[in-house]
Every structure is written in C-alpha cells, then in structure tokens.
Structure 1
Amino acid sequence: MNVPPEDLDEIDSLQVNVMNTSFYIAISNEYNTNWKETILSFLQYMEREFSRFLRNNELSSLNEVKRDSIIVVSPILFDLLKKAEEYRLKTEGRFSPYLLTQLEVHGYKQSFPFEVAPHHEMIPRYKNEDQSLIFMEGCQVMKKTDQKVDLGGIAKGYAVEAVSKWLQNHTRSTYGIVDGGGDMAMWSKGDKAWTIGIMDPFDEGKEIGSFSIRNGGVATSNTIYRSWLQGETKKHHILDGRTGMPAVSEIVQATVVTEHCLDAEISAKLFFMDDVASVKSVLSKINRKFSYVLVKANGKIEIGGSRENEH
C-alpha cells in the first residue's frame, strides 16, 4: 500500500528502515514539535529487544527460560505478550505467538529477502493445547509452555499503534499517518483524508484499487512476497497456530480495514486459514466493524465486511 504524492504537502515526515521494514510517518505539525528522535529511538528499541533474529535481547531471554519458571519483563513486553495471548484466545488458536520453532523448521531462520531454505528431515511434534503465559503483578510472567515466542508481525502492528497514539497525545497534530510496511494507523480531526492504494500482489508496481480513510487501521498480509522453497515445497510465513503448518488457501493477499491497526494486522492473517464465513465470525470477536479486500490465486478480487460496513 502507498500514499499518493498529492497527500504529502505541508506535512512533517520521517522515513526509516527498521524492524526489517520501511516505516513512513507523516503528521501535521503546526506547533513545530520535536518528535522524530523520540519515535526513531522507540522503533530501534522495538527492533533491538523483540527481534527473533537478534541474540542477547529481551525476547531471547524469555525464550531461554524453562517451563514453569517466572521471569520479570519490561512493561512493553508484558503488554505485548498479554495482547498476543488475548488474540490467541479470541481467534481460537488460529493466531499464535508460540510459533518460533515451527517457523525455523519450515525454513524461516533469516531476515528477508531469501529464496531457498535448508530442508528439515523431521518436523517436530507441535502441540497448541498447552501454550500459555500467566501474567502476574510487577510485570512477572510465568511460562506454561515449552514453545518459544515469536512476536513477528504483532510487534510491528503494536509499534505502529504506539507511535500513532504518542504522536496524537504529544504533538497536537490535527492529522497524521504511520505506515510500517503496510501496517497503518491514521487519524484526522477534520476533513483530511488519506488515499490508500492496495498493491497488486502479482505486480508490485501496480495497484488493484484504492480507498479513502480519515481514522482507523489498515493491514495487508501476502503469501507471495515472504515465501521460499524448502526442498521442492513452496512455503510462506503465515502459519496456522492450530497446526503449526503454513496456511493453505486460494487467497494470496488480504487487506483488512478496521478501527485499530493491531486488530487489522491479526485479522488479515486469518483469511488464509479458513473459509470467509468462518473468518468473519472470528473477526467479529476482535472488532465488530471491519472491511476486507481479498485477492485470490486466480486473480479474482473479493470485497466484503461486517454488517455495519456493508451497504
């Protein structure tokens, strides 16, 4: 997705590559608030502490803790883990933060881009029934699982929402947008609307359409871009938390628009795991208002949403 050039006049913006993606942030800044250094430091912190590709960070410390142990984590990680567990329960296990081992076994052991991954002779038995964390006072977390945590897309969506909220609270901007590689949050206190283009999954230089939005969250998931060959099998990064296997679907790209970016980020992935009717039922537990645009492998496009958003 992208923001057309005509929307970029008279705004204060920042563009940076962090968290293995490109962040674009733009706000109205009538009061000339100094915000860029704070936002950049926060995004770098999120990458440094919660990337599974880095060692000796807070996420790796959590994953090294034995089952039934208690660890004290930072307030940000505590909040992020709690939200991830809430989404796991709401989605009936379709979304899961406990997929690190499975991702690595399926070949996703390095940052993109890569095209080929080493083959694993055996895929370890995956259990989703015992995955849980117990949250206690003082940012204490008890691990009740042997599975390791991967925060992947949810950390990016969390960062987008956190940056958006901070900018609205601390800069008094009348409108703005935070785009973290397609995970987007935007706001407007007036007539300002953002025109968002939806990329053609088969040709990144083209768009299949666009829409206008003033306030809300948007996220797109795609199984073409983050995909690779493991042996003779084509695999991608969206795993079904119920099976630990790459989701099998005729859908290759899902875009979801709802009130909050993090809700949209989780919701977009669900469309690869079940039929649309089943996904819509689950999505209503996350946010009762949502719209979606799906692109199928045969190029057909399906548009829909919750009853509140359908006309």
Structure 2
Amino acid sequence: MTRLARWAVPLAAVALVMAYAYGRRPGPAPFTETRFLMDTLVTVTVWGPPEPEARAAADRAFAALAAVDQEMARVEGTPLWELNRAGGGRVSEALASVLADALAWARRTGGAFDPTVAPLLDLWDIPRGPHPPPSPLAVEAALSQVGWDRIRLDAGGRTVDLGRTRVDLGGIAKGWAIDRAAEALRTAGVTDFIVNAGGDLYVAGRRGDRPWRVGIQHPRDQDRFLRVVAPMEGALVTSGDYERFYEWEGRRFHHILDPRTGRPARGCQSVTVWAPTAVDADALSTAVFVLGPEEGLRLLETQPGVEGLVVAADGTVRETPGFARVAPEVRR
C-alpha cells in the first residue's frame, strides 16, 4: 500500500478544496513551492518577503509537515506502526498530543470520529480498487476491535495502552501537520500565506491588497467548483466520498467509514469545515460526514468558532448560519 492508503481513512480532503488564483493584476507575485509529502501534493504559498526569505520559510514549513508524516503515517517502521504492533508503549510529545486531540474529538462526537478504525480500513482496503465488499461477518469481526474508549492515554507521562485496538490517525494528523507548518511560517516572520496539503488548507493574511480566494470542489463534477470563497484566517478542510472510492454492482464504496456500522457512511457527498485550527477542522469534517446532514450540522452549531457546509447524499447544500461570514462567496 502507498503511504496515503495507510494514512487514509477517514482522511480529510484530498484535493477537494484547492487554492484558486485568477484575475491576477500586475505587481508582485507570491512565492510558491510544491512538494510530494504524505502521498499528496503539498503547496506552500508565501506573499511578501523576497524569494530567499520566502524559500527559507517554506523549507521550514515542509520540514514540519515531513516530521509529522514520518511519525504518524501508518506504514512499517514509523512510531505509530510500532505503537500498533506493540499494543501500546511510550510515545513522543507530538504523538501524545495528537492522540489526546483524537480522543477528545471522539468523545465530543459520540464516536462518529474514532481513531481506532484501522481494522476496518484494512478490511475494506478501498485503495485496492473494485472488489466485492466484505461480508457482514467480516465487518462484525473488525468492529469488535474498534472502540476509542478502550484506549488508555497518560498524556503527561506519554504512555498509551491500546488494548485490543489499533490506531489510524488519518482523520486528524494531517490537520495537525498543517497547523505545525503554519506555526513554522509564523516563526519565520511570514504573515501572509497558504498551506495547501492535498486540498486541506490553512489560510493566513492576504494576497497583497486582496483576500486569498479558494475553490470548494463540486463533489460530483471534478471540473466545477461548488463555490469560490475568500475565507477568514483559519483552516478550510473538506471530507468527501469522491476521491478514494470504487464502484461495485452499481454502488459506490468510499473511504470514510462509519465506526458505528463498519461500513461507508451514506448521508453526505461532502462536508467542508472552517475552524481556527486545521486539526479541529480535520476531525470535524470526518465526524460530520459520518453523522449526516441533520445531526452533523447540529454538532457544528454547538462548536464555538466553527462553521460548515454540507452536501447531502441527494445533492442538496446546507450550511451553518455563520459559514457565509467566515467563507464569503466571491464573484468569479
């Protein structure tokens, strides 16, 4: 499997929300660099500093992203892989922090977000492509190993007991990595930038005298944007059923699994969440997708400073009352 497959499910937004630059006026151009990390294209765009300073700042951001990938991707030899193999142990401060965030969101979402979905991910093996879905008995067997409340984490002592579970951090570690990259850019003195990790964004400052503009991908037409928006400073993350999926006998089987049923969640086509941090937007976009439009929007409305937009399974679009404020639509 590729590293992306190991990160994968439920991973927020792979190429679902992308930086959208158009109508450029004459004047300074931003420094932009793209690298392949976390098995996706990551672009860091910096506005303002001369190229040498911008490049040095971008290097720091890429280093922060790579460090998270090397620790928290579920591939052989990483600290997360070793933790799963051993069933627990002592972890780094970074891994303890992400696990604490993951368990906190599992608790807040009633298990709609659950970092212990690794057995289900391996069972469904969505990246392998078209194949018969697993049997009900196989799903039940995998579900017997799922349950975030079985994990015992001592965040201060940085020790973890996984019990009978295995952890996949694909639904939260990418957001945590984006936040670390944003932190690295700020430490380097950059105030105007976008970190775009496969479509999951952190946006800060402005593009010169204009706001940054980003496009939210239409979940059923890859050549269209659902909306083009100018988001407030913060993270914009999308989870959708259209990036990693296959069809079998007329049904779509995608990578966002409901940890309560062990099967792909069916209530949404996509969910976009704006939050002050990417780690929160990442976890919430997955949880809302699993919960479906009604319950998911109710969850978002209970979270201070968070807004969202949901495309339901039937294609209808709904949003929280404040989404248009934090991500106003702009004319193309």
AA in 1 matched with 2:309: V
| Number of the residue aligned with 2:10 | none
1:95 and 2:126 aligned:
no
Q: Which string of whole-angstrom CA distances, capped at 9 and with x for unpartnered residues, describes residues 78-115 of structure 1?
A: 1111111111111111100000001111223x5xxx53
| Number of the residue aligned with 1:200 | 218
Q: How many corresponding residue pairs?
A: 299
Change (3 A) 1:140 1:129: closer
Alignment partners' CA distance in 2, 1:64 and 1:10: 48
What CA RMSD, in Å, does the superposition of the two structures yield over aligned residues? 2.8
Mapping 1:1-311, distance limit 5 Å? 1-6=17-22, 9-30=28-49, 32-33=52-53, 34-52=56-74, 54-66=75-87, 71-108=89-126, 110=127, 114-117=128-131, 120-121=134-135, 122-123=138-139, 124-127=141-144, 128=147, 130-143=149-162, 145-168=163-186, 170-188=187-205, 192-229=210-247, 234-249=252-267, 251-285=268-302, 287-305=303-321
Q: Which string of whole-angstrom CA distances, capped at 9 and with x for unpartnered residues, describes residues 149-180 of structure 1?
A: 00113111111111012211x22123111111
AA in 2 matched with 1:265: D
- 2:200–2:237 contact (8 Å) kept in structure 1: yes
Change (3 A) 1:91 1:225: same
Q: Which string of whole-angstrom CA distances, capped at 9 and with x for unpartnered residues, describes residues 95-142 of structure 1?
A: 00000001111223x5xxx53246544221524374323214342223
Q: Which string of whole-angstrom CA distances, capped at 9 and with x for unpartnered residues, describes residues 190-223 of structure 1?
A: 9652111111222212112211124111011111
Identify the structure with bigger relative contact order (alpha carbons < 8 Å, sequence gap 6+): 2
User: Which is richer in helix?
Assistant: 2
- 1:15–1:24 contact (8 Å) kept in structure 2: yes
Q: Which string of whole-angstrom CA distances, capped at 9 and with x for unpartnered residues, describes residues 232-275 of structure 1?
A: 753211122333322121x2111122222222222222333335
Alignment partners' CA distance in 1, 2:323 and 2:111: 24
AA in 2 matched with 1:213: P
Bigger drift between 210-219 and 184-193 goes to 184-193
Bigger drift between 291-300 and 75-84 goes to 291-300
Unaligned runs of 5+ in 2: 1-16
Change (3 A) 1:79 1:126: same
Task: Return the TM-score normalized by structure 2.
Answer: 0.80
User: Which is richer in strand?
Assistant: 1
Alignment partners' CA distance in 1, 2:310 and 2:246: 22
Alignment partners' CA distance in 1, 2:263 and 2:290: 10
Change (3 A) 1:138 1:228: same
- 1:227–1:234 contact (8 Å) kept in structure 2: yes
- 1:219–1:268 contact (8 Å) kept in structure 2: yes
